[in-house]
């Protein structure tokens, strides 16, 4: 008898929306998205690290530094709802996400260059104001105003890129590999943070402009490659605009995003967790010789020594993020995140008691960054599983808006508290309290999630139907 021909094995296909990938195609799109992530994290490391230092070098107090961070957060707070709805509704040759990456990258790079020349620009502004007869402004005040204005410019355009970049993940990455993708995404981001803090931060004071320009150019090239290489699928037509113009759209946005307790509780996860990250912006003053007069003694490290320690703390995150992908897909992000938040809270309180020098700072902070990676990896993968896919940008922006509200309220509060206690060591206590509140909120959210179907039957609550029923006579 003749043997029957062997059945050909059909290659596995991956689908998201109208996009279909082979394994090779999926690898390519993930590669370019992760390529952009590396340079995006480089950029995200630069401004939070350098802007507070630039303000301190200009003579700003902790309260002023917190105020500048808060004012910039207000801009993002106002923009995020607009960005989400604009991107969800946009239709063009490049799709609904990539055009925003294309348009907003040049202003981001320009703002970095302007931050890099803050010192001479502040001096020039001081001379111009003196020539105009306004002698009440000191050189330090002019430099601080310049930094604050350029930082605000960066926040506005970077808000578009940061938000739309996250929306693009959901449009081009299949749900079945989302956990593994976000594990890789966070790992690559940690490498970017490591690279900046280990090899660039130490040169920032003497070569501020060079650091900003180099990272700005690398960032621009990476995102233009994403626009070129990553293709979006076809989208259904956007829903018709609501009656009442911009006011009607704002009312609809608020009703759909902020009326359901389930989503509100999810947003408060971001509020408390983002608040826990605010004090870390002041940790450079605890570790280095840049502390305020009259405060408790700092660790006395140089900026280069601090940069090396901070860089090495990101090294532990890389293997953790790689391990998180399979764990997230197996146990669900919400369960993994609960473990991570509990360990983060313990690590912050431990840092308050145990950090006494450079070695203990390295050990304790490394452990903290390792357990922080558990929550960061799980939290990033949780969002696509929770929010409605058809209005993902809209709900994502609502979540970010509440998160940014903590960035508005907390920086001045932290600056004021530091002025009261006059000891930067209390930063760890502030962080621990906020992460403890995040943990409690996530426990409550977990119980709500179980009521809405949990692992097998979860469906995002439909706030459109809820609004429609509320208006029915």
More confident residue, 55 or 135: 55
pLDDT at 212 over 90: yes
More confident residue, 275 or 8: 275
Query: What was the pLDDT predicted at 9?
Result: 66
Helices 358-386 and 392-421: crossing angle in degrees, nearest 10, is: 150
Query: What was the pLDDT predicted at 270?
Result: 92
pTM score of the predicted model: 0.71
* Secondary structure of the chain as H, E, C letters: CCCCCCCCCCCCCEEECCEEECHHHHHHHHHHHHHHHHHHHHHHHHHHHHHHHHHHHCCCCHHHHHHHHHHHHHHHHHHHHHHHHHHHHCCCCCCCCHHHHHHHHHHHHHHHHHHHCHHHHHHHHHHHHHHCCCCCCCHHHHHHHHHHHHHHHHHHHHHHHHHHHHHHHHHHCCHHHHHHHHHHHHHHHHHHHHHHHHHCHHHCCCCHHHHHHHHHHHHHHHHHHHHHHCCCCCCCCCCCCCCCHHHHHHHHHHHHHHCCHHHHHHHHHHHHHHHHHCHHHHHHHHHECCCCCCCCCCCCECHHHHHHHHHHHHHCHHHHHHHHHHHHHHHCHHHHHHHHHHHHHHHHHHHHHHCCCHHHHHHHHHHHHHHHHHHHHHHHHHHHHHCCCCCHHHHHHHHHHHHHHHHHHHHHHHHHHHHHHCCHHHHHHHHHHHHHHHHHHHHHHHHHHHHCCHHHHCCCCCHHHHHHHHCCC
13-17, 270-274, 423-427, 469-473: which has the minimum mean pLDDT?
Answer: 469-473
In a domain, residue 463? The reply is: no
pLDDT at 465 over 50: no
In a domain, residue 21? The reply is: no
Residue with tokens 């912006």: 281
- Domain tally for the chain? 1
State the pLDDT confidence band at 292, using cuts at 50, 70 and 90: low
pLDDT at 133 over 80: no
Query: What was the pLDDT predicted at 135?
Result: 64
Query: What was the pLDDT predicted at 227?
Result: 94
- The domain in which residue 439 lies consists of 38-233+260-454
Q: What is the mean pLDDT of residues 185-202?
A: 80
Could you tell me the CATH number of the domain that includes residue 94? 1.20.1250.20
pLDDT in tens, 213-243: 999 999 999 999 999 999 999 988 887 776 6
pLDDT at 5 over 70: no
In a domain, residue 245? The reply is: no
Half-sphere exposure of 395 (CA within 13 A, CB side): 26
In a domain, residue 361? The reply is: yes
Q: What is the mean pLDDT of residues 288-295?
A: 73
pLDDT in tens, 85-119: 888 889 988 999 999 999 999 999 999 999 999 99
N-terminal to C-terminal alpha carbon distance within the chain: 76
* Secondary structure of 399-452 as H, E, C letters: HHHHHHHHHHHHHHHHHHHHHHHCCHHHHHHHHHHHHHHHHHHHHHHHHHHHHC
In a domain, residue 206? The reply is: yes
Question: Are 60 and 138 spatial neighbours (Cβ–Cβ below 8 Å)?
Answer: no
Per-residue burial over 451-468, b if 16 or more Cβ lie within 10 Å, else e, is eeeeeeeeebeebeeeee
In a domain, residue 1? The reply is: no
Average pLDDT score, the chain:
86
Query: What was the pLDDT predicted at 472?
Result: 35
In a domain, residue 414? The reply is: yes
Q: List, in order, residues 6 or more apart from 330 with CB less than 8 Å away.
A: none
Query: What was the pLDDT predicted at 448?
Result: 94
Q: What is the mean pLDDT of residues 314-333?
A: 84
Query: What was the pLDDT predicted at 105?
Result: 96
Q: What is the mean pLDDT of residues 374-389?
A: 88
In a domain, residue 335? The reply is: yes
């Amino acid at each position: 008898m003749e043997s029957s021909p062997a059945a050909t094995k059909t290659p596995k296909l991956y689908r998201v929306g109208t996009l279909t990938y082979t394994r090779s195609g999926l690898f390519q799109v993930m590669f370019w998205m992760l390529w952009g992530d590396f340079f995006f994290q480089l950029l995200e490391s630069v401004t939070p690290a350098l802007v507070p230092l630039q303000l301190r070098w200009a003579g700003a107090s902790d309260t002023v530094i917190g105020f500048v961070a808060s004012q910039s957060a207000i801009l993002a707070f106002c923009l995020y709802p607009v960005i989400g709805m604009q991107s969800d509704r946009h239709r063009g040759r490049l799709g609904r996400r990539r055009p925003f990456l294309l348009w907003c990258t040049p202003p981001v790079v320009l703002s970095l260059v302007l931050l890099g020349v803050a010192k001479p620009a502040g001096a020039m502004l001081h001379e111009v104001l003196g020539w105009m007869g306004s002698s009440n402004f000191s050189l330090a005040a002019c430099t601080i105003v310049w930094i604050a204005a350029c930082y605000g410019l960066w926040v506005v355009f970077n808000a578009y890129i940061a938000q739309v970049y996250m929306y693009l993940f959901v449009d081009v990455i299949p749900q079945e590999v989302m956990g593994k993708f976000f594990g890789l995404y966070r790992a690559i981001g940690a490498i970017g943070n490591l690279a900046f803090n280990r090899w660039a931060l130490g040169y920032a004071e003497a070569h501020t402009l060079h650091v900003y320009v180099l990272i700005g150019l690398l960032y621009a090239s990476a995102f233009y490659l994403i626009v070129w290489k990553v293709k979006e699928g076809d989208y259904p037509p956007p829903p018709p605009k609501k009656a009442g113009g911009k006011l009607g759209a704002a009312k609809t946005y608020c009703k759909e995003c902020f009326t359901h307790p389930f989503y509100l509780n999810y947003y408060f996860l971001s509020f408390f967790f983002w608040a826990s990250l605010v004090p870390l912006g002041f940790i450079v003053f605890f570790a280095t010789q840049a502390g305020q007069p009259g405060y408790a003694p700092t660790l006395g490290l140089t900026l280069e020594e601090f940069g090396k320690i901070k860089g090495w703390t990101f090294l532990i995150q890389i293997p953790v993020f790689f391990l998180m992908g399979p764990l997230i897909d197996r146990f669900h992000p919400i369960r993994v995140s609960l473990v991570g938040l509990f360990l983060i809270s313990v690590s912050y309180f431990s840092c308050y008691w145990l950090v006494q020098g450079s070695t203990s700072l390295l050990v304790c902070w490394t452990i903290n960054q390792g357990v922080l990676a558990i929550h960061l990896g799980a939290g990033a993968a949780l969002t696509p599983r929770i929010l409605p896919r058809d209005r993902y940008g809209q709900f994502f922006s609502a979540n970010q808006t509440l998160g940014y509200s903590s960035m508005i309220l907390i920086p001045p509060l932290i600056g004021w508290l530091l002025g009261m206690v006059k000891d930067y060591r209390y930063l760890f206590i502030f962080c621990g309290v906020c992460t403890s509140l995040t943990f409690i909120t996530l426990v409550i959210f977990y119980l709500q999630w179980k009521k809405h179907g949990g692992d097998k039957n979860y469906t995002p609550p439909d706030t459109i139907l809820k609004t429609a029923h509320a208006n029915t006579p």
